[in-house]
Structure 1
C-alpha cells in the first residue's frame, strides 16, 4: 500500500534558560550534532556565586547563634560546680568552728562569721542551680524552635543559591542537532527565554496519511520501504508503529459538521506512524518535514489492492 501524502517528523526540543543573566559563552553552532550532557552555553556566574557566598555565611551565623545557647549552659554548669565547692568548704569550716568554739578556742564572733559565710555560699549554690536550669531550658528550646528553624532556613537558602548557580550552565538533554539558534555571547537573557532548539533525528519517524480504504490490511509491525524526494533512487526501510485513533479531520481545530442538510462524502485519511530503521539512515540524511513515499508490505497482491480500491 503506497501513498505520497507522507512526511518525516521528529521531536523538536526547545532549549531555554531557567535563570536570567548575560550569556558568557555559546559553545555550539546551528546544525551541529551534540551528545547528551554536552555543554551548550554558559551564563555569567558572578552574581550567582556571590549569592552562594552570602548563603554560606548565613548558615555559619545561624549555627553560631544556636551554639551560643549551649555555651551559656556550659558556663552556668561551671559556675554551679564552683559554687558547690565553696559551699562544701563553708560547711567544713562551720563544723570545725563549732568544735573549736566548744573548746573555747575561738570567740563567738568568729563562729558567727563562719555561720554567715555558710549561709551566703548556700544561697549562691541555690542561685547557680537555678541559673543552670534556666540556661539548659533556653538552649533546648532554642534548638527545638527558633534557632533550629533558622539554621534549616539558611541551609535551604544555600541549597537554592547553589541550584540557581547550576542553572547558569545549560546542557543538551538528548543526542541531536542544534537548530534555530537565536543567541550569542554578550546578550542579556531572561528566565524562560527560547535560545535554540534540539532535534534528535535518530528518533525521527514518518507520518503517512493513508486513505481510509487503504488501511484495511495495515497492521503494526509490517515492513515498510520508502523513498525520499531529496534522494531519488535510494530506498529506506522501516516498520509500521501504529495507526492514529482518528482521522486527521477529527482532530483538526475546526472539525467538519456532517449533520447538515447538504452532505458530500469526502474520503478521509488516517495518519499511520512509521518507525524508521536506525540502520537504514546511518548518515542521518533524513530531515524533519521531508516528503516521502512509503510502501507498506501488507502481504496483499497488487491486483487485490486495485480491486478493493476500485469503485466498481
Structure 2
C-alpha cells in the first residue's frame, strides 16, 4: 500500500483531481475564489436607430443618398413625386379664396340689412306722423258730422284716411321687425362663414404639410443604414425606407439578478469590445431597468402551471460610455461587449 502512494502515477492523479476541483470552485465563484467583480458577456452596444418612413403615399422621385452615408440634420434623404399634392394645395387655396369672398359678401349683406332697418324705422316715423294728421282731421270732422254740417262723403273719406294711417303704421312696425330679423340672419350667417374660412385655412395648412412631407429630411446628424428606397418605387405611409444611426451610443448589460447586489448608479465599469480586438473602454452605470427582461417579452412565461425550475432572471443595466476615449467613436449599435463591474467600489 505504501508503494502505491509513493508511485508517480498516484501523485499525478491527485494533482489532476485537485486542479479540477479548483477549476470548479473558480468557475462557480466559490470560496476561496469569491470576487467582487461581476462580469457578463450578455451585453451589447445600443444606439438610437431611427427608421425613416414617409407620412404619405406616392412614387419616389429622388434618392440623393447612398448606403452608410453620413448626413447632417436637414439633409434631403428622399423626395416623393409632389405633383398631386401641389394641385391639392392650389385647390385648398382656391377654396379659401372663395370662402373669404363669401365672407366679404356677407358683410355687404349685413350692411344692406342694417340700411333696410333704418329705412323701416324711418317709415315708422312717417306712418306715425300720417296717423297723427289723420287723427287730427277726424277730430275736426267728427263734431261737424254730428251737427250735420259736413257731407257723408267727407266723413267717410276722413274715416278711411284714419284707418289707412293706422294700417300703415302697423305695416311699418312689421317691416321694422322683418328688417331686424334680416340683420340677425346676416350676423349668424357671418359666423358660419367665418367658421368656413377657418376650415379652409386649416385645409390649406394641411395641404402645405403634405407638400412638405414629400421631402423627407434627416431629423438629426448620423449615418445611414442600408437604403432600400429605389427611384420610381411606389411607397405608402409607414414604408421603411432606410435607418438613421446617430453618433450617441451606450451599453446594455444583462446581469443575472444574483449579480446585482452591490451595484449602484455611478459605479465605474470597464468593458471589452470584440470588434475592436477586445480593446478595453470605460463607463459608468447610468440606470437600472425597472423590471427583468422576461417581463418585457412578447410571450411571457406562465410559472403557475406544471413543474417549476428556478432560473436566474437577467436585469438590463444601462451603462454610459465615458467621453474622450478615441475608440468610442468606432462603436456601433449591436456590437458585442464583455462588461465587468467592481461592486466593491462606491
143 and 206 in structure 1: CA distance in 2 versus 1, 3 angstrom threshold: same
**How far 1:135 sits from its partner (Å)?**
5.0
68 and 32 in structure 1: CA distance in 2 versus 1, 3 angstrom threshold: same
**How far 1:17 sits from its partner (Å)?**
0.8
| C-alpha distance after superposition, 1:111-148 (max 9, x if no partner) | xxxxxxxx9xx9xx99997886565334222102x323
Structure 2 residue aligned with 1:36: 73
| C-alpha distance after superposition, 1:200-249 (max 9, x if no partner) | 241x2212233333332221111112211111253222111223344444
Q: Aligned partners of 1:179 and 1:240: how far apart in 2? A: 29
Equivalent of 2:50 in 13, 22, 36: 13
132 and 229 in structure 1: CA distance in 2 versus 1, 3 angstrom threshold: same
261 and 55 in structure 1: CA distance in 2 versus 1, 3 angstrom threshold: closer
- Alignment check: 8 A CA contact 1:70 1:136 kept: no
Structure 1 residue aligned with 2:19: none
254 and 65 in structure 1: CA distance in 2 versus 1, 3 angstrom threshold: closer
Larger radius of gyration: 2
Equivalent of 2:225 in 159, 169, 179: 179
Structure 2 residue aligned with 1:169: 215
Matched, 1:232 2:269: no
Q: Aligned partners of 1:69 and 1:233: how far apart in 2? A: 78
Structure 1 residue aligned with 2:92: 55
**How far 1:29 sits from its partner (Å)?**
1.9
Q: Aligned partners of 2:46 and 2:273: how far apart in 1? A: 13
- Alignment check: 8 A CA contact 1:79 1:128 kept: no
Structure 2 residue aligned with 1:149: 195
52 and 268 in structure 1: CA distance in 2 versus 1, 3 angstrom threshold: closer
Q: Aligned partners of 2:308 and 2:103: how far apart in 1? A: 82
**How far 1:19 sits from its partner (Å)?**
0.9
- Alignment check: 8 A CA contact 2:110 2:187 kept: no
Greater Cα offset, 46-55 or 210-219: 210-219
Structure 1 residue aligned with 2:6: none
More helix by share: 2
- Alignment check: 8 A CA contact 2:56 2:213 kept: yes
Number of aligned residues: 280
Greater Cα offset, 271-280 or 188-197: 271-280
TM-score, scaled to structure 2: 0.65
Q: What's the RMSD between the two structures over aligned residues?
A: 4.1
What are the ranges of 5 or more consecutive residues in structure 2 without an aligned counterpart?
A: 1-36, 130-164
